[in-house]
Structure 1
Amino acid sequence: MDGVVYRFGQYALDADRRRLSHDGQWVDVEPRALELLCLLVEHRDRTVSEDELYDRMGRGHAVSGATFAAWLRTARLAIGDSDTGQHVIRTVSPHGYQFVATTTADSSVPLSPPATAPTTEADHEVIRFCRSTDGTRIAFALTGEGPPLVKTANWLTHLDLDRTNPMWAHWFDGLTRGRQLIRYDERGCGLSEWTVSSFTLDDLVDDLDSVVDAAGLDRFPLLGVSQGGAVAVAYAARRPERVSHLVLTSAYARGQQIRAGSDDERDAAEVDLNIARAGWRSQDSSFLRYFASQFLADATPAEWDAFAAYQRQTTSASNGLRFIEDFTRIDVSGIAHQVTCPTLIVHARDDARVPVAQALELATLIPDSRLVLLDSRNHLFTAADPAWPTFLSHLYTFLGE
């Protein structure tokens, strides 16, 4: 049916032009995954068998199970779905799929971005995909206009959900003032590929390199938040010709298990890790609230629950456990001294997740660095946190030098 636009939730799919949008912003999706999505939407009144999809997608050529699974996962991720949270595309036993979201079809108006709605810098966004060195699909987004600011990936993120999530929404307004923000979802997370065999530091550095190559950047300032700070340090040390300025906030050089120097600290690290494991495995709200409270110390219990619900949308439980375990063992203390660019380190004095001692260590290790400590308990600065505008002021002053 020519010119049909299917609308479900905050998404709109132009089946004729093969275009997907979310809240009026184009979502860049691999063509075969988008074709699969269109097939399922067009036949949403029934379960479509896997054999039929293989036949129609293959166009006379054999389609492997692995290839189809990759298309299906990409299609699901593009619309905020997942293998476990099947709110839009449901797997129907034994071998079929059905598009189950409430959908309206409009054949009169082709899908196009709003022409007259007022926009901000952060409204200009496009999501794209690239491949890392080992072939892993990485999703990245370009938001705003102006000189680039690259933000390393940090768990938890989901490119298609972050801009409306209270935990991250204010970051877009803040980081796109006169700049283009380039961000990406970590491997195993968000819109990036979830089924990956390796999460090493080298992998994460390669992912960043692939993103900036795909974005066409030569030299740029780099922002690392939380565990993304370690990736930023490693990248700046290895690729000094590309990083003009380095900004680290709520960052650390050594993960909790690596930096534990006494029996008490090792015991505390193991307890913290076990609580996080228990939360991800059982999805028990008490465990997940404890985990959330370390990131957002000044939030309410309801906000901690919202944080926990959001994190379940960003990745699978198995990947969540891998992230937690791998990040406790990350260590860039041996290469931090190789960072040659000017570096700004911003940290909350009473950070409940990463002790301020880690900021002091980074400032000691990185030669051309300056340290700013802010009065806050939040690991991730919230919109209501007085430290947030102060952080932005220091950031833009530093980048303008």
Structure 2
Amino acid sequence: MPASFRAGNPHQQIRFCRAADGVRIAYAVHGTGPPLLISTCWLSHLQHDWESPVWRHFLSDLGEFATVIRFDERGHGLSDWDVTDFSLEARLGDLAAVADDAGFPTFALMAMAQGGPVAITYAHRYPGRVTRLVFYDSYADPLHGMTDDDIELEDAFEHIIKAGWGRPESTFRRVFSTQMIPDATEEQLGWLDELLRVSVSPRTAVLARQQRKGADASALMPQLTAPTLVLHSLRDRMNSFAHARHLSTGIPGARLVPLDSGNHILLADEPAWPQFVTAVRDFLADDRESAPAPARVPLAQVLSGRELQVLGLAAQGRDNDEIARRLTLSVRTVERHLQNIYAKLEVQGKSARTAAVARLLSG
């Protein structure tokens, strides 16, 4: 699995898998420690998030003590965009596909924002896979506690998405950005404005929001058996704190940690952030003692066909010039393929070629 940030390797490993209905789902793995699979939040873009002044601290700090597996929901980010089914069952299939493809037999499951019903349903359906549950500004039922005024506001949001989501200027998207991180700097708000634009189309944003309204997993909460931690910002404008109370009272033995923040996405410089990190690290402590080893991913799922050909010839002791002649490529192209191979296999330095060949020969 990818080396941690502490090991000096800041890279995530991006992979793709197929959901049961054929939709291609992009997911990423980074960090070191027990596996922590994230049931994705409303908006994500695996590569864009990686450079983010809003999300980078989240990724790097969790990666210090956990192997983080996160994915772009269907219709979003690097996953397939041409999708119309955002039902709970379809989204559950995405999570299951990522869980299976990542290769960990068991893992902790963190539900962020709208990922709550999916995580609850997965933990109920596959209790042997989930070691513990974490909810972060999430919910079991998106409509829990909503008034008529709240529902009217939701309808207004959908009209805003249709009217201005895809526009180059950020005026309409700023409505959502300020709801998510009201305490943010202009730089942070500007980045989130851009995330909204690049992560999803206006059509998909509306479809997904409409179909998520029917995703209610409340009835399954009393049957969950995994240890559960609920973290929620006290003044969250996107998902009210009432959702945290609903989760923590409905799931047997759940522990609630209120976070003194008005941000839906905690920022790195607010006091609530180290409180969040400490709570999650401590909660995963038992998993660190018995972290399962992931199944080795076949090279055919990691390298392209051409990269396998290049590496196979390198394993025969052929130099770059000979590989280029045999495959009718330029030497520069061969070198580029090798660099891609080294990056995907996370080997570097003078021994990178030897290590990559050894990985091929070991199966």
**TM-score > 0.5 by shorter chain:** yes
Deviation at 1:360, TM superposition (A): 0.3
Q: Deviations over 1:164-211 (max 9, x none)?
A: 111211111111113211111111111111112311111111111111
1:148 equivalent to 2:35? Answer: yes
| CA–CA separation in structure 1 for the residues paired with 2:221 and 2:230 | 13
Match of 1:127 among 14, 31, 40: 14
Deviation at 1:280, TM superposition (A): 2.0
Q: Secondary structure at the match of 1:140?
A: strand
Q: Secondary structure at the match of 1:378?
A: coil
Corresponding residue of 2:111: 224
Letter of the structure 1 residue corresponding to residue 50 of structure 2: R
| CA–CA separation in structure 2 for the residues paired with 1:267 and 1:341 | 36
Q: Deviations over 1:256-281 (max 9, x none)?
A: xx336543333333334433443326
1:389–1:190 CA distance, 2 compared to 1 (3 A): same
Contact residue 231 and residue 256 of structure 2 kept, 8 A: yes
Which has a greater percent of helix?
2
1:372–1:284 CA distance, 2 compared to 1 (3 A): same
Contact residue 248 and residue 256 of structure 2 kept, 8 A: yes
Corresponding residue of 1:207: 94
Corresponding residue of 1:103: none
TM-score, reference length from structure 1: 0.66
1:263 equivalent to 2:148? Answer: yes
Q: How does 1:210-359 map to 2 (within 5 A)?
A: 210-255=97-142, 258-259=143-144, 262-280=147-165, 285-359=170-244
Which has a greater percent of strand?
1
1:336–1:284 CA distance, 2 compared to 1 (3 A): farther
Q: How does 1:1-400 map to 2 (within 5 A)?
A: 120=7, 123-255=10-142, 258-259=143-144, 262-280=147-165, 285-400=170-285
Q: Secondary structure at the match of 1:160?
A: helix
| CA–CA separation in structure 1 for the residues paired with 2:49 and 2:77 | 10
Deviation at 1:122, TM superposition (A): 6.2
Cα RMSD after superposing both structures: 2.1
Contact residue 84 and residue 207 of structure 2 kept, 8 A: no
| CA–CA separation in structure 2 for the residues paired with 1:147 and 1:224 | 17
Structure 1 unaligned residues grouped into runs of 5+? 1-25, 27-117
Letter of the structure 1 residue corresponding to residue 164 of structure 2: G
Relative contact order, higher structure (CA 8 A, sep 6+): 2
Which segments of structure 1 move beyond 6 Å, counting only runs of 4 or more? Answer: none
Number of positions where the alignment pairs a residue of Structure 1 with one of Structure 2: 283
| CA–CA separation in structure 2 for the residues paired with 1:275 and 1:168 | 25
Q: Secondary structure at the match of 2:219?
A: coil
Structure 2 unaligned residues grouped into runs of 5+? 287-363
TM-score, reference length from structure 2: 0.73
| CA–CA separation in structure 2 for the residues paired with 1:387 and 1:122 | 27
